Structure formats: structure tokens, C-alpha cells
A = this chain, B = another copy of it.
Amino acid sequence: MRGLQGGEWRPGEAIPSELELAARFRVSQGTVRKAIDELAAENLLVRRQGKGTFVATHNEEKIQYRFLRLQPEDGMPPLRMQRQFLDCRRLRAPSDVARALDLRAGDTVVQIRRTLSQSGVAVVLDDIWLPGSLFKGLTAERLSEYRGPLYSLFESEFGVRMIRAEEKIRAVVADEATAVVLSVQAGAPLLSVERLSMTYGDKPVELRRGLYNTHGHHYRNELS
């Protein structure tokens, strides 16, 4: 965990073999395997048969939608979202944002507003806040130029890796401005998804307030 957190082993890279790790930390190979099992169960490491063990990364297509639980209704085309950035600016953290991100009053945050669309119609409107000190040099241009998922940009360009997130989900109604963006009537029901994402050590590094139009989509959850 220290090696991951400190960046000794970076996203996408292989970690040393079990034998090497056992020698380095003076533990048995079984103990190393158990530690790797636990980190793999938490999606921090990925085992590849015959290839070794790698630091997990947000670059892979298959985990691109791990945090986005939106699914099209049965019989609709599969999810393939186009994104558009509407705004990216630095400002002093509003008090609720500062509280959620564990910042001091007056600290700078980067605020991003973007949409995710399917077939040209916006389905998701996201407002995203990031601690300014961790995301120096993040601009609208860099956001627009980057081809991969947002969490992949955060990871590869800023060294900030999202490990887990908590979401609070509510039903709300669209205000006038949101209604225009999401092509619904003012007062239409929307899913409000408030996400707090944590990096290593459970440190909050992103607050995201999403409004989802669930007319042709739903948020999918599995319970066990």
C-alpha cells in the first residue's frame, strides 16, 4: 500500500514478483500472496495469468464505466457516452464543497461542468470540484484535448488515483437552466447523484454532483 501510495509502482506498471517481495519484506511467499489477494479484491492490483501482477489503472476501457452506474433501458443501444465540457474554472471553495473535500475555507478548487450525451442528447449533467493544490494546471484545454476517461487523466497527469467512492442518490426536479441542458421540461424528475471519491488513505479528492435523466436510462445496483 505504501508503494502504491508513494508512487513507487505506478498505474499500469508491474509490481515485483512474489519471491522478490517476500525477500524484501522478510515474510513468507504465502503472506505476500495474501496481501496481493486483498489488494486485488479492492481493485488496487490486477493479476494477469502468466504475466504478473499490475497496478490497476483507470485507462482500461472495461473499468471506464465502473463508477458510472447508468445503463440504457432494455432494448436500447449500449452505453457509449460523448462528453462535452461546458466550463472549467478556479475559485474559492464554497463552504459545503470545502467541508466535503476536507479543505480550509478560502482554499482554491477547480470546478468543472460537463455533460455526457448519447446520440447527441445530454443524459448527464455533472458539476465536479477538485482540490486546486492537487490539480495545478488543469484547464479547459487540457480537459478537451484528453481522449480517455476523466479518472484516467487525473491519474496519469496529476498522479491522483480514485480508489473508492460513496454516492448519495435522491430524486429532484429540473430547474429552468438544467431543463435546457438536458432537454426536459422544468419540473421534470431527475436523479441526483452526489459522489465523494477517495484516494489512498480515504482522503477525499473529488466531489461530483450529477443530474441524470432516467427517462431512457436507469442507475443499476447489485446487492448481495
**Interface residues, chain A, CB within 8 Å of chain B?**
42-43, 66-67, 69, 71, 163-173, 187, 189-192, 194-195, 212, 214, 218-224
Contacts and interface: CB of A to CB of B under 8 A. Distances in A.
A192 B194 CA distance: 17
A170 B219 contact: yes
5 smallest CB-CB distances across A and B, nearest first, come from: A171-B189, A170-B214, A164-B224, A169-B219, A171-B171
Given A67-B223, A224-B42, A190 B165 contact: no
Contact of A169 (B43, B163, B191): B191
A169 B223 contact: no
Contacts of A43: 224
B168 A223 contact: no
A194 B221 CA distance: 10
